[in-house]
């Protein structure tokens, strides 16, 4: 990731849009693969109704850091859904 994580997220989102996908960033609270961090992992939703995670992720020690980056990238926070994985704190679109 470059010097400005918000700009990098914005670039990744633009790339997803150009591929006719909707980028969704799920924020996880210390998932098993990163037990010492909060993770924002990019997922893409496709026109055919399928979605999948990507290899793009942001790792921080504080939730507030991720939230500030997402806001600077121009994203909107959505609260955790009832059916979301227990480790998901929120999502950003």
Using one digit for the tens of pLDDT, what is the confidence trace for 6-53? 999 999 999 999 999 999 999 999 999 999 999 999 999 999 999 999
Percentage helix, strand, coil, to 5, in the chain?
25, 35, 40
Domain count, the chain: 1
Range of the domain at 71: 5-92
So what's the pLDDT on residue 3? 81
Cα–Cα distance between 51 and 21 in angstroms, integer? 9
Cα–Cα distance between 70 and 47 in angstroms, integer? 24
Global confidence as pTM:
0.92
């Amino acid at each position: 990731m470059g010097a400005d994580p918000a700009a990098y997220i914005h670039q990744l989102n633009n790339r997803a849009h150009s591929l006719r996908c909707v980028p969704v960033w799920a924020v996880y609270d210390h998932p098993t693969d990163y037990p010492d961090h909060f993770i924002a992992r990019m997922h893409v939703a496709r026109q055919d109704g399928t979605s999948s995670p990507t290899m793009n992720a942001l790792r921080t020690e504080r939730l507030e850091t991720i939230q500030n980056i997402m806001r600077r990238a121009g994203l909107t926070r959505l609260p955790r859904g009832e059916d979301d994985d227990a480790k998901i704190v929120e999502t950003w679109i």
